[in-house]
Structure 1
Amino acid sequence: MSWRNNKTNPYLTYAVILFFIFDGTALGLNIWLTQRVQNQTIELNLAGRQRMLSQKMVKEFLYAPPGAATPDLREKLSQTVNLFDRTLNAFRMGGTTLDTDGNLVTLNTFNNRHYFELVEKAWGTWVPMRQDLNNYTKTPTAELFLRINQRLDAQSTLLLNYMNELALAIETQARYETGQIRLLQTIALILGMLNFVAAFWLYRLRLQALEQEQSLIDSLLNSMPSAMVFTDDQGHLIQANPKFTALLGLDLDSAAQHKIEDLIIPYPDKQGIWQLSFLATHRAIVKVEKTSAYQDDKHLIVWRIEDVSEDFAEREQLSSLAYKDPLTGLDNRMAFEEHFNQQNQLACSDHLYALMFLDLNNFKQINDTFGHNKGDMILREVGFRLKQFVSDSFHIARYGGDEFILLLQNIRDEESAIAKAEYLVESLKAPYYVGSEILYIDASIGITTFTGKQSNTTKIISKADKAMYQAKKNHNGHNVHLIQWEG
């Protein structure tokens, strides 16, 4: 795949247009010449036939003297006279006549002055003879025969000469015009060939310019520090640099078989973050920037893709540290409060929730007696035991020191919450093996229950905290105390 600006060089366009103009001119001249030669051939043939007809009339007239002029002879003479007259009149005024094969042809009025003068002279000589000949074919009298014979002796040669001159003039003009047109054809063809050579040369220059342009673009793309991809509006790949194929772990032909949306997919729950799809050899986390571009008025999308896997992992780790208690591995206070607020926004009025506040009993004495290191070991073990209860409906976090906070969702009734709390307390009473020491500890839990969305979550936490202190105060084997929330 290549990125090219395919806009046509205007000089190349002009050269191609001129080539077709010159070539079309030569072709047009050839067609016009062919038609002109055909017309001149017809005129030349008809002029030659007029010479023959003038001689034929004399013979047919002499073969039909009075007394011997049979109807057949007179009919033949009449046909010859009429054909000669019709053709000469067509030369003079334009019109139709019959060609040498008996086909109807149309002649145009002569524009050549010399032609016209010859035809007019022939017409002036012919008209007096035509009337007498037409009369003779109808009534062949001796007097009319004698008069026509005298006219023919005086004027038939003159009429023949006019027809000879006309034929010669037409032939000479035809040769001259043919030569001129052939010259124009040759010039047009030469110009066309020169223009073709120029067009081909410009085309080669254009190809070289495109290759240099492509080489420059490829060089720029290959030197980009990020992966670059060009696609159409439907997401089909047009071009990509090696950084992109290296990121995918695919060659360009394999990548081009898929749309860009199949290769890069949004990362779940992370706006602005993308991930390579399963089609890639590894699922890198990437950042994507899209811009528009145009190639020959065609809209393209330019994708700039940057591998941010390491940065993303570091940010996720920092985010995890910000929301996790490093000692117990449980969520910290900030994470719990954020979770509690989110769940409160989604709370349903017919669902019962329980918020529990847990505090380890006599933990300060353990710290004072055995030291903070062993106290931390106990807290770590408490966190481990509490983790076993964490689920989608039971969220547990370390609130601070030896205090833990718990949110139980969608419980059946208050007794269920109390039973859950007592079970937690029992799980914490198991012995703790701290170095060479075996220690025991229990806990007090305060509970407050509520239904539906609450306007003040801080007061709910405070109510559970108060219930926890009440459980400590009443510590007589019952480590759980519940205060109903009436917020």
Structure 2
Amino acid sequence: MGTSIRWTARMRALLRRWRGAPLTWLIVGGFVLMAATAIGTALTVDRFRQNAIESGRDGLESAVRLLARHFDREFADFAVLQKSVIAELESHGIASTDVFRSEMGTLAMHEVLRAKASGWSDVAGANVFDSNGVLINSSRRWPVADISVADRGYFNRLKSDPTSQEEIEVVPGRFGNGPAIVFARRVSGPHGEFLGMVSRAITPDQLESFFASTGLGDDSSIAMHHQNGQLLARIPHVDAMIGQNYHTGSPEQKAVFERTFVTMQLASPIDGKDRIVASRLLTGAPLVIVATRSLDATLATWRTQTKFFVTVAVLSIGLLVLTLFLIFRQVTRRLSLEKQRLDTALNTMTQGLLMFDQDERLIVCNRRYIEMYHLSTDVVKPGAYFRDVIQHRHDTGSFDGDVDSYCDGILGSVGRTQSAIVETADSRLIEIKNQPGAAGGWLATHDDVTERIRADERIAHMAHYDALTDLPNRVLMRGHLERRVAELAEGKPFAILYIDVDEFKGVNDSFGHEVGDELLRQVANRLRACVSGNDLVARLGGDEFAIVKAGTRDQAELTALAETILNALRAPVNCKGQEVPTDASIGIAIAPDHGDNLDDLLKRADLAMYAA
């Protein structure tokens, strides 16, 4: 339980120290500002990165949308010839492959094809193939070359599948150099029988030249695929890639060919880079336009911005650190100087000084306090608890008493100003003052007032006692008599005896002042011996003495006391080797018999003495 309380107190002290330390708050504020700058820069950079990616996506989406519109329109026009030729062929009502071959393989049909294909730009014009895949007519050549496409996949698919009306495939060219993209359409008889096909072809270069006009930038690509994944054309152009099927890999990669419109980020199956991909399926053909751009190229501008922002942030943080460092150094120097001044002031104090916080922990202790009680600085240091300090004093012998009772008493009245003078084991008098602090806790000062009090006592003694005989003087006797007069109302009588040493002047003149002084001291001693402890013997000045006899008004008793005094004083006194005879005159005033006024009583005693 005690450990828990102490930990709680330490935490509260730490929090108060933080609350009350402007330099600490300045440093914390600086670090918070640096963290905010770093976080703000990171968030801004991340936001710009997202904006760059979104902008890249938007650019690719716009590009594929425009390309799709263009090629939808181009391929629709491209198919017009094929559809018109097929309509022309099918209008003859041909029902057998032989009739189809004989009627379609004529010069007249060649002229029809040439007329329809005029103005079109492709590889080999419009070509008609019979059911065996043999070329029987062409818009470009007559007579036709001996060419067969029976080994082509697109031909076999059209021949074997009555539902397939059009096939598109990239194949090695037979009418020119390099690969060609073939667009083939089925020619069917009245009952759906396969009669042959009409094809047209373009080269990938023709598509790629248009792709290049889009200007997507570095590390970008535009490609046209068949919906089955076969690559038909691409920029940058790579011969080995044309004709390859890319409908493989992850579901995201396959979705490029399966969905009408796709925008995503994925790893490219070609170069392995992270790329932003946008694709769009053409509406009039099973073709897909795919545009990609590497994430690195997309973020190139962002990286430039990031360098700028990071540079600005680093410079700002550096400037802030430099500013904090300069402020910290300046404040530290000033605090160090102030601390030195404070330490000098505290350690040159004649008082021991302690300051405790509201958790009873020592904040300040000066050197004088340590030296005053001979304590150890290993124990009495900032952070030590009040009870531990007092216990250390008890252990070292400078505190005599019960530690817990003393501590409880001090702590119970911390909110009030306290002052007390205590005597230590070595007989020193220490004045301890406790004053409450403004923010809790208290300030204690320990002042060694031994010499001051002793001096005050000596001064007070000198003011009330005769320096020669150490008897009370006239001032002290008068105060004593005033109290006796006040007690008359309580039925307590007293008497005043005035005593004058006879022929004292002659002794002084004959034997000197030293002998006279010794005579007075001897007289004082003999007078003390004649009275009890309740009676007062005083020297009024010169050779005059007085005795205040308490508790009596009996004249016989007072007469007997006067005889005792006379007998004591008449005995010769040995003063510095000289036998000096003495005698005295005594006057008596009794209160209340002779009055209750002090001055009257003193006057009566004086007159009685002179009368004697």
Please give the TM-score of this superposition, normalised by the length of structure 2. Answer: 0.41
Q: Which has the higher helix share?
A: 1
Give the structure with higher Rg (CA).
2
| Higher RCO, 1 vs 2 (CA within 8 Å, ≥6 residues apart) | 1
Per the normalisation by structure 1, the TM-score is 0.50
